[in-house]
Structure 1
Amino acid sequence: MNWTSRLPTALLGLCLALPMLAHAASESDLLPVDEAFQLSTRALNRDEIEVAFKIAPSYYLYRERMKVESADPAGFSIVEAQWPNGDPKEDEFFGHVETYRLNAAGTVIGQAAPTLAEVSLKISYQGCADIGICYPPQRRTVTVALPAQAPANPAGFLPGTSPGLGDTSIATAGGASSNPLAGLGQTTSVLGATDALPLPEDQAFQFEAIAESSTEFLLRFTMPPNYYLYRDHSRFELVDPNVGTLGSPLWPAAQTIQDPEFGAVQVYFDLVEVPLRLARRDGAPTVVALKGFYQGCIKDGICYPPMERTLQVEFPAASAGELTKVAELIADEAAPAKAPTATSIQTPEPNAGSLPALTFWQALLAALLGGLVLNLMPCVLPVLSLKAISLASSGETPAKARAHALWYTAGVLSSFAVVGLLVIALRSGGAALGWGFQLQQPIFVGLMAYVMLALGLSLSGLILIGAGLANIGSNLADQSGAKGDFFTGVLAVVVASPCTAPFMGGALSFAFNQSPLVALIVFLALGLGLALPFLLVGFVPALAHRLPKPGAWMDTLKQWLAYPLYITAVWLAWVLGHQRGVDAMAIWLIGALALTAGLWWWEKNRFADRQWSRHLLAALLVAASLWALWTIHRLPADAPAQNTSQFAKPYSAELLTQLRGAQTPVFVNMTADWCVSCKVNERSTLSGDRFKQALADTGTVYLKGDWTNEDPTITAFLKEHGAVGVPLYVFYAKGSSDGVVLPAILTPDLVDRTIRGEP
């Protein structure tokens, strides 16, 4: 199989009504708009005007985006504009459309006043280049001279050759210059506009930043006369999110202008200075890299495409008091942005695009409750149930029961501490990791599937796994029993990891943004919640006595509880298929057969003479199963786009920026195949007719990001919104500068009201 051919489908032809371009190709590859689409007009007679375009090769115009209006309806009233049929095309956003290539000519039919000498027309159009960039909607105002008398136009007389007929010239902000910026972005070309070429980006919009204090940037934009900067099309982020947390930009009062595309907008002319707080993690002197995204226009001229610049700013040392103060200020800014719940959700407010800030004690409580919920997961429940029943039926003293509970809890707490500190250490070192990163590794997923299969075989009575995994139905010495309890706790953490983030979003986000000591305490609280039921059974004899009495039914229950583990193994194999393709599933099945054969042979010869020589074959079979995992790991990653539904578009940061700039409502779903709650939400809420109808009624675009494999773009989005894992659901309402984060557990009513903007 040719694995290299599995590339994600390229997103071409993103043509949206907004003043920005996709960055799929370099600007130097794009012709100025007036070279790509050369507009000309002429009067065929006093009541008919031809509008023609000469289109450059590899460029095309949309028929549906053609529009002609009269600048003086009293002098020239337009009856209709006739355009020829174009070439059919299935467009990414506009659906079934018609396009023109090389040439296009239409006729504007109207009625001219008797004394009218010339007609002013407003012509709108939009086109794209085959390289994957679409121009924003263009506008031109042209003046067409009319003949003094309507020509008779006898048979054989060519239109346009009579005296007085001719082409009109078009005054644009940049003409047909070789400057690639000319015509890019929203263009409102009006007769009389300046004929000067647009300045280069760095001269038109000078972006500077200094350290105003040890915890605050001072940003400055400087523009020449008649250039202006959009306030709401600007944002800032840290290149390394581990440096700290940015506050909201403290924009000064802006000037309101009427924008042809966006209506009333807030802009700045000449110069604007913007304070920006920074809650640093470390008070030592440092250099911070700040990335700015912004956009601006020329008054009555072109708009520049979105610009992006990165500045290095040197910060002095900050005291502990300064760090604490700025962190409290930023937390106060985010305080109104409360997380929506399943019963009440608010309209998105500024700074509502991240998870709610928690206090230390709130984070501990959330961690404890989240760990408690994990005990109900189908992977954890069989292990926990049988462990509790075996404890109750063992007839041991209360002291030994407490020892079992404590060793199990030690295994849980140790595992959460190791995994949590590993993630924090890697993130501090610059690695783009989130909670659940281990499930993005095929080796780990395949190994977990093996463990589920082996435990299921043990519960079915086909093999006997000792205390290291289940400690079920065995009479162990104290040392072996402690080991069994400890590793049962480890196993509970491992199998619960796919379900942790949905119940722990706020607490994990809090932990990842604190010192290692505070983060460790939060992770230990999560582990305590997971271990709490078993602790109660071990330390409260009355609870143990309320458990069912031992008997033959326990063997039947144990065998039934094997099936959730088998189902989990099948699910994990399915995840492998999405990570590395169908071949990975086949290789895992071969490895599973080898593992099963090895365990069976080991069990068959458990008490045989010369058992070590007999066990050699079992060891070779188990090694073959591990080799299968390594083979799977070396396969190339499968394309995530294949997991999107027919009405969902694959997430990309560029596409989201374009949609938000066009004030298009957007619903973003960040998911993964190994995330159980993600799949439940998609089945129950995000694939139903009610959800689809809400999208259609409101014009909302549904973007779906797949985090099954490592994806730095999605990881950055999660960090931007304060999430440490999936699921993450963010809704951007029309005209809102920020998104609102929805709960990890969705309901159809909640999502429907959110998209429709209902309380």
Structure 2
Amino acid sequence: MRLIRPGRLAARFSALLGLCLTLLVIAPAMAQDDLDGLLPVTEAYKLSADASTPGVVKLHWTIAPDYYLYRGRMKFKAGEGVTLGEAQLPDGEKHHDEYLGDVETYHHGIDATVPYTLASGATRLKLTVQYQGCHEVDPKICYPPHTEQLDLALPTGPAQAGPSLGAALGKLGSSRAGEGAALPAEQAFQFEALAKDRQHLLLRWNMPKGYYLYRDQTTLRLKDAGDLTLGEPAWPAGVAHDDAHFGQTTVFFDQVELPVAIHGDTTGRQSVTLEASFQGCQDGGLCYPVMTRTLTVDLGGAAPVVGPSAAPAPETPPASATSRSPRIGLLSALLLALAGGLVLNLMPCVLPVLAIKAVGLLESGESHARARAHALSYSAGVLSSFALIGIVILVLRSAGQAMGWGAQLQQPLVVGVLACVMVAVGLSMSGVVQFGASLGNVGQSLASRSGHAGHFFTGVLAVVVASPCTAPFMGSALVYAFAAPMLYALLVLLMLGVGLALPFLLVAFVPALARLLPRPGAWMETLKQVLAFPMYLTAAWLVWVLAHQRGADAVGLVLVAAVMLAATLWWFERSRTRGVASKLAVAVLAVLTALPLYQLGQLPPPAQTATVAEGVVAFSPEKLAELRKAGVPVFVDMTADWCVTCKANEHAVLDTEAFRELLRKTGAVYMKGDWTDVNPTIAAFLQQYNSPGVPLYVVFPKGGGEGHMLPTVLTSSMVEEALTKAAGTPVASNP
């Protein structure tokens, strides 16, 4: 292999002559030290190819550090029996080269796709790939053009046999395809866009049955839009798919709606031009090359702009989908969040933390200063936790993911760790181990770091255990926060934290309320030990949730972790007055506590089995559509084992004989969806109805039409009224 070093003289000639002269004249005189460490061309630019997708070959170059490739020096030549289409290369880094003029270069790596068609009877794909690059560290060394011959096996499947892809699609352009045949791209992937308002677009893909769209192969941009840019798309939950080329990826069947925000001032603009590139496949058949559609979207109205050969736009989401979240402003959302945080203090899931705070306030009863410091540290923990939740939600939303209220409890590791935390808090209150200031030192100042830290993390714990609950007023505020701009979303979540912390702030800062508290004394130690038992019960509830998520093995692991945690804390208390070896034993026990929790995170979900009760239909979109088509009223209940509000509603209303009698009287079907574990189908249904989490209750009338959402906290009269109205029967009047 001969290499060239560019010189000043070459700049006076054309690109090709310059490269040739430096190759012939300068290369023989190059010093050996200039070549030390220079990689062979096939190691500097490692080329791999994949022809597993019919109709397109995918090329990837892995480029070594300090090397780059020229975009304009890439050439592709078809072998025998192969016809190549136009190669699709990404934009490179633009700069001026002293020999080639204005060029684009690639660093680190590049993916390219080349569509192709095959002659009848072809069994292999042969093509020639040529490329050229340079080593950019001084002295700059450029390789001569390098050529590689590719001979690739073809995938098996419907797309290989018979005519080429282009011919097949051409024949289908004027007639409907037979069963199993591939539709033209315009029919297989109907694409449209509309303006929800001047700053928000809604994109929609409609696909026939058996076709799917890749989420991660979709790119969107505005053309000739000046300072306007698109925000991160808010992708709904899709279907996990193990793809031959892309590996584990996410795809969408049937229909997908994608909200996208426009960043920038749209004042004075009547429309924007959207360019969308995407790729999809026929399930079990061929995969289409990347498609690019350009649409002009009217910003003055909501009428959709439909692409070529697209069907009429489907109905917009049901108006009742926003019944839980009317179009409220920021002030209304803040007031609702404040009220929801206040009510959250009364929910059963927050009871264990209220127990801790009750003891803390009694401890500080002799000093207003201590009470204020206590309440402020606790409030700081609450507000910091809500701020962190807001940041996580915004990060996930910008990455195209979704997060529901309380959805962290879908992760078995989180549930297991939280159960151990509740055990640790209970053991502390039982006197096995002491964290921070003890109850006996009532007169001692709590201004130390440990005292403030204890109150702060009590606030953090309050938010964690409150997440399984959805209080009245919270629904609309959370929906607003989960879709609002970043600053507004953080303000709403922080106001929810203010509501949660407000009762303790009032007691600490209003002397009249503080005087209502009993005087501290020795009886508080007994109270503290009694209040440990709600902590143990909460841990038991979390283990029950874990059993539903991962089965008996998960229960065994978390129980072992709890026992090891108890041993760790017991020995930690004894090691306070002992030497280094005793403290080292604490560290060993802590590691032994973490091991079963690590194994818990590795457990796979159990096999899916129908576990719904008698007379209850498991939720599926197909079954719901079938029942609605048959004219049957349907009561849909989206629930989860970790959702305390859901369980309270079931106990009070849905698991009663009166509710079952109401179902019989109205002829309604009770359909239940379980969101205890991650379930993209249920997540998509929640998103369809703008619900931030569970519970979600939707009643569908028997004559068709929109579903009616119910509040998160149910009453028997409310459910009876909704079902009788859905069934078209008169509502019985109360005497």
TM band (smaller chain) = 0.5 to 0.7
RMSD of aligned residue pairs (Cα, Å): 4.2
1: CA distance, partners of 2:677 / 2:204: 37
1: CA distance, partners of 2:449 / 2:628: 61
Report if the CA contact (8 A) 2:637-2:697 is conserved: yes
Report if the CA contact (8 A) 1:379-1:565 is conserved: no
Report if the CA contact (8 A) 1:501-1:727 is conserved: no
Aligned-partner residue type, residue 413 of structure 2 = I
2: CA distance, partners of 1:681 / 1:423: 27
In structure 1, the partner of 2:325 is 356
Aligned-partner residue type, residue 552 of structure 2 = V
3-state SS, counterpart of residue 352 of structure 1? helix
Superposition TM-score, scaled by structure 1 size: 0.56
Selected match of 2:382 from 408, 412, 416:
412
Evaluate the alpha carbon distance shift between residue 316 and residue 244 of structure 1 in structure 2; reply closer, same or farther with a 3 A threshold.
farther
Aligned-partner residue type, residue 485 of structure 2 = S
| Shift of residue 433, structure 1, vs aligned partner | 2.3
Cα deviations across residues 584-627 of structure 1 (Å, max 9, x unaligned)?
111111111111111111112322x31x3113223222222221
| Structure 1 position 282 matched with structure 2 position 262 | yes
Any unmatched runs of 5+ in structure 2?
A: 1-175, 207-217, 221-230, 237-256, 265-272, 280-289, 304-316
| Structure 1 position 453 matched with structure 2 position 423 | yes
Superposition TM-score, scaled by structure 2 size: 0.58
| Shift of residue 201, structure 1, vs aligned partner | 11
1: CA distance, partners of 2:391 / 2:205: 39
| Shift of residue 705, structure 1, vs aligned partner | 0.9
| Structure 1 position 513 matched with structure 2 position 483 | yes
| Shift of residue 502, structure 1, vs aligned partner | 6.4
3-state SS, counterpart of residue 605 of structure 1? helix
Evaluate the alpha carbon distance shift between residue 395 and residue 646 of structure 1 in structure 2; reply closer, same or farther with a 3 A threshold.
closer
Report if the CA contact (8 A) 1:387-1:472 is conserved: no
Aligned-partner residue type, residue 262 of structure 2 = D
Residue pairs, 1:61-460, within 5 angstroms: 180=179, 209=192, 243=233, 280-283=260-263, 286-287=274-275, 314=294, 351-354=319-322, 355-357=324-326, 358-394=328-364, 397-460=367-430
2: CA distance, partners of 1:575 / 1:470: 37
In structure 2, the partner of 1:525 is 495
3-state SS, counterpart of residue 559 of structure 1? helix
Percent identity of equivalent pairs:
47
1: CA distance, partners of 2:297 / 2:369: 54
In structure 2, the partner of 1:655 is 623
| Shift of residue 569, structure 1, vs aligned partner | 0.3
Selected match of 1:746 from 701, 714, 726:
714
| Shift of residue 503, structure 1, vs aligned partner | 5.4
The 10-residue stretch of structure 1 (503-512 or 277-286) with the greater mean CA deviation from structure 2: 277-286
| Structure 1 position 715 matched with structure 2 position 683 | yes
Report if the CA contact (8 A) 2:426-2:536 is conserved: yes
In structure 2, the partner of 1:701 is 669
Report if the CA contact (8 A) 1:503-1:744 is conserved: no
3-state SS, counterpart of residue 432 of structure 2? coil
| Shift of residue 206, structure 1, vs aligned partner | 11
Report if the CA contact (8 A) 2:562-2:593 is conserved: yes
2: CA distance, partners of 1:216 / 1:460: 56
Evaluate the alpha carbon distance shift between residue 623 and residue 379 of structure 1 in structure 2; reply closer, same or farther with a 3 A threshold.
farther
2: CA distance, partners of 1:442 / 1:490: 20
2: CA distance, partners of 1:288 / 1:491: 45
| Shift of residue 420, structure 1, vs aligned partner | 1.9
2: CA distance, partners of 1:471 / 1:405: 19
Report if the CA contact (8 A) 1:364-1:525 is conserved: yes
Any unmatched runs of 5+ in structure 1?
A: 1-176, 182-197, 222-238, 247-276, 292-309, 328-348
3-state SS, counterpart of residue 600 of structure 1? helix
Aligned-partner residue type, residue 695 of structure 1 = L
| Shift of residue 312, structure 1, vs aligned partner | 7.5
1: CA distance, partners of 2:440 / 2:538: 17
2: CA distance, partners of 1:726 / 1:468: 39
Evaluate the alpha carbon distance shift between residue 204 and residue 496 of structure 1 in structure 2; reply closer, same or farther with a 3 A threshold.
closer
In structure 2, the partner of 1:617 is 585
Cα deviations across residues 508-531 of structure 1 (Å, max 9, x unaligned)?
111111101000000000000011
How many residues align? The count is 480
Aligned-partner residue type, residue 339 of structure 2 = L
In structure 1, the partner of 2:131 is none
2: CA distance, partners of 1:650 / 1:287: 40
In structure 1, the partner of 2:705 is 737
Report if the CA contact (8 A) 1:455-1:465 is conserved: no
2: CA distance, partners of 1:643 / 1:199: 39
2: CA distance, partners of 1:439 / 1:586: 19
1: CA distance, partners of 2:478 / 2:367: 38
Cα deviations across residues 197-233 of structure 1 (Å, max 9, x unaligned)?
x998999999664668976789999xxxxxxxxxxxx
In structure 2, the partner of 1:69 is none
Selected match of 1:558 from 511, 519, 528:
528
2: CA distance, partners of 1:574 / 1:471: 38
| Structure 1 position 687 matched with structure 2 position 655 | yes
| Shift of residue 643, structure 1, vs aligned partner | 4.0
2: CA distance, partners of 1:573 / 1:375: 23
Aligned-partner residue type, residue 356 of structure 1 = S
Aligned-partner residue type, residue 353 of structure 1 = A
2: CA distance, partners of 1:690 / 1:752: 9
